[in-house]
Structure 1
Amino acid sequence: MFTVEKVGSDRLDIEMSGKLDSEEMRSALDELLDKSADIQNGKMLFDIVEYHLPSLGAMGVELSRLPSMMRFIRKFDRAAVLSDTNWVKKVSEAEGFLIPGLDIKSFNRDQRDQAEAWLEGFGTDS
């Protein structure tokens, strides 16, 4: 499952659970691009309920859309990742070092309020 909700004019809330196949990946990427069309200096809140690596077909879809996904990611300044899986949190924060201009911070799933405060620039350190 992959859902995207636009919250205000500059934020996307994304929930991920389970394994994505190629059709679900195509639909998810379309939804991300559509809902982010008018966002600038945006924020994302990822809630990763239960993560499984996507299928090989889904990874192929993602790679084929790499140019549009690079344009997508440049629309955002901050991303908070909610997960109770340590390796997911560590990999998410490592991605922040690889994507210029995007600050990524991870939180436990029960720390949603802190994650939202961080996205808005309040509370915890950057």
Structure 2
Amino acid sequence: MFNIVVKGANRLDIEFSGKLNSDDMKAALDALVEKTGDINNGKMLYRIGDFDWPTLGAIGVELSRIPELFRMIRRFDKVAVVAEQDWVRTASKLEGALIPGLEIKAFPPDRISEAEAWLAS
């Protein structure tokens, strides 16, 4: 499952769980790029449920769109990642360190209100 909800002029909420194949990844990335087109200085709440590694085809789709995804992510200043798995939260922090100008903070699901407050600050 991949769900994107626009919450105001500069806020996007994404919910993801399960496994993506190449068709799912293409549809998810198309929707993400489309819904972020007018966002500037954005904030994103990214909820990750039960996560399975995407298929190799899905990874290929994502890699083929890296330049477009970097342009899209530059529209955001903050991303709060809410995930059950420790390794997903750790990977999110590392990703934040690698992308200049983007602050990523990870939270366990029981601290969703803290994630919301951090995004609002």
Alignment TM-score > 0.5, same fold: yes
Give yes or no for the alignment of 1:71 onto 2:59. no
2:53 and 2:101 map into 1 onto residues whose CA distance is 26
1:88 Cα offset (Å): 0.5
SS in 2 for 1:81: strand
Percent same amino acid among aligned pairs?
53
Where does 1:1-126 land on structure 2 (aligned, <5 Å)?
1-121=1-121
Normalised to the residue count of structure 1, the TM-score between the two structures is: 0.94
1:11 Cα offset (Å): 0.9
Aligned length: 121
Consecutive unaligned residues of structure 2, counting only runs of 5 or more, are: none
Task: Provide the aligned C-alpha RMSD in A.
Answer: 0.6
2:38 and 2:100 map into 1 onto residues whose CA distance is 20
1:113 Cα offset (Å): 1.0
Q: CA deviation digits over 1:85-113, x for unaligned, max 9?
A: 11110010110000001000011112111
1:84 Cα offset (Å): 1.3
Consecutive unaligned residues of structure 1, counting only runs of 5 or more, are: 122-126
1:27 Cα offset (Å): 0.4
1:53 Cα offset (Å): 1.1
2:47 and 2:110 map into 1 onto residues whose CA distance is 10
1:65 and 1:9 map into 2 onto residues whose CA distance is 25
| Stretches (4+) displaced over 6 A | none
2:11 and 2:120 map into 1 onto residues whose CA distance is 10
1:112 and 1:35 map into 2 onto residues whose CA distance is 23
Q: CA deviation digits over 1:44-88, x for unaligned, max 9?
A: 101101111111000000011111101000000000000111111
